[in-house]
Structure 1
């Protein structure tokens, strides 16, 4: 997500990255979330904390977190809390050109916030058998709640030929069994510079701008900017 946010910001957009899984805050530090930063849920439940909700990353984009941890997901089952979170999220989103959301489906097979069903949804997968199975399961779970709609697919750790084979296979199965259309959003090739940049705490665009991975993220960012927003559903 940070590798996507960086080129989107360079295109002149104000970008907000929202970590919307149930991952504890200390495990989501790679997003640049500050330890003194409140999650959206904490801001609603404990307004007296007066902690900032958004951190402006030095690389040009902003970051926020929806939930403080695994146990907090139960609050999403309370309609009044969920509606307040929706309003707060929409207020924050309205202050930015593009919002990227790292989300995982709830036990009810829905997005953490209902509004996320209305955005562009990108599903990330590799050509690993387990990843392909996870991706197709996720597609089925999504369709059971939001019905027939187009979903975007990005394939990583593959060559261009391999990525298209993987995509064509899953697209054919989804069309045959679910009657839905999948779009190929792009591929992120295997590139050791991704891991090196991550260890440095930097995005690959900034650290290694001439690499294949950097070029791939720039291309994907161009498509996201064209669609004016993309919501990523993680496979966690």
Structure 2
């Protein structure tokens, strides 16, 4: 059996052979209030502190989103870039050692963008991710179905795209576990997702987190035939709450806090995630193309159905 060091070296070599391709990780949650945005911010900061070049896409349009948490004001966003109103770098914000691109409006309008606008979007994200080690996506809440999302103009989530790892943030409450499992089930059945990384947030200790994870993994394995992998937990910590109030990542504000150490450990595990086949064959551009194709398919079906109704 190879040692963990040997496995890490092998994965590092694989990524090197993939021409230092950007690792894309989409952070999702089954409901609001679980801490998805907080996890994204603190993982981004932890990765940056380890010397990685990190870019965060903020898909969340709700109040108290990632930009609000960090006290950022966006003069331009990704939709402005897609519509040719500004240069991609004008939509890039720098804070706490990593970059942030506001993407909420672009994801909301994605299904309605022209082909030229979609191309500018692909080109912009490809350019902005050039040289980036890790792209984290604070994902919009996926709609119950793609067709419903289009009909209701709900924001499309990058969790629907192929080629990016999915990190599911779960809390230890009954509703948190139920909603997280429902999200995993939906993405497994509708998008053929087979692997999900799990972070248990707001938990008393590691043992409590493992209990939550093991129960979810057992049910998912039996009913969905998918693989859930435990990435770690973030324990309840007053200093994490204090850092959030200050608009700072806990790993920066209180680096010795138990939550900060947990985030640093998880960031190291993220960098050791195995390269999936679809990740090996694609890049940021291909991930966006995959998302655009998936959005376009139900839109085309909806247009054909409406034409039949009219006729």
TM-score bracket, normalised by the shorter chain, equals 0.7 to 0.9
Question: Is there any run of 5+ residues in structure 2 with no aligned partner, and where?
Answer: 1-39, 150-155, 280-311
How much is the aligned-residue C-alpha RMSD, in angstroms?
A: 2.8
* 1:123-138 equivalent positions in 2, closer than 5 A: 123-138=168-183
User: Could you say which residue in structure 2 is the equivalent of 1:66?
Assistant: 103
Question: Is there any run of 5+ residues in structure 1 with no aligned partner, and where?
Answer: 231-236
Following the alignment from structure 1 to structure 2, what is the Cα–Cα distance between the partners of residues 194 and 202?
9
Q: Determine helix, strand or coil for the equivalent of 2:177.
A: helix
Of 163, 170, 181, 2:216 maps to: 170
Q: What is the number of equivalent residue pairs in this alignment? A: 225
Which deviations, in whole Å up to 9, do the C-alpha atoms of 1:96-121 show, x marking residues without a partner? Answer: 11111011324418963488431111
Following the alignment from structure 2 to structure 1, what is the Cα–Cα distance between the partners of residues 197 and 243?
26
Change (3 A) 1:48 1:157: closer
Question: CA contact under 8 A between 1:20 and 1:66: conserved in structure 2?
Answer: yes
Following the alignment from structure 1 to structure 2, what is the Cα–Cα distance between the partners of residues 96 and 202?
22
Q: Determine helix, strand or coil for the equivalent of 1:221.
A: helix
- CA drift at 1:218: 0.5
Change (3 A) 1:113 1:167: closer
Deviates more, 1:140-149 or 1:59-68: 140-149
Deviates more, 1:47-56 or 1:166-175: 47-56
- CA drift at 1:20: 1.6
* 1:78-97 equivalent positions in 2, closer than 5 A: 78=113, 80=115, 81-82=117-118, 84-97=120-133
Question: Which structure has more helix as a fraction of its residues?
Answer: 2
Question: CA contact under 8 A between 1:22 and 1:67: conserved in structure 2?
Answer: yes
Following the alignment from structure 1 to structure 2, what is the Cα–Cα distance between the partners of residues 172 and 76?
36
User: Could you say which residue in structure 2 is the equivalent of 1:222?
Assistant: 268
1:76 aligns with 2:105: no
- CA drift at 1:14: 0.7
Change (3 A) 1:163 1:210: same
Following the alignment from structure 2 to structure 1, what is the Cα–Cα distance between the partners of residues 248 and 64?
19
* 1:152-163 equivalent positions in 2, closer than 5 A: 152-158=197-203, 159-163=205-209
Q: Specify the structure having the higher radius of gyration (Cα).
A: 2
Deviates more, 1:104-113 or 1:92-101: 104-113
Question: CA contact under 8 A between 2:41 and 2:66: conserved in structure 1?
Answer: no
Following the alignment from structure 2 to structure 1, what is the Cα–Cα distance between the partners of residues 235 and 53?
27
* 1:83-122 equivalent positions in 2, closer than 5 A: 84-104=120-140, 105-106=142-143, 107-108=145-146, 112-113=157-158, 116-122=161-167
Following the alignment from structure 2 to structure 1, what is the Cα–Cα distance between the partners of residues 159 and 212?
30
User: Could you say which residue in structure 2 is the equivalent of 1:234?
Assistant: none
Following the alignment from structure 1 to structure 2, what is the Cα–Cα distance between the partners of residues 128 and 122?
18
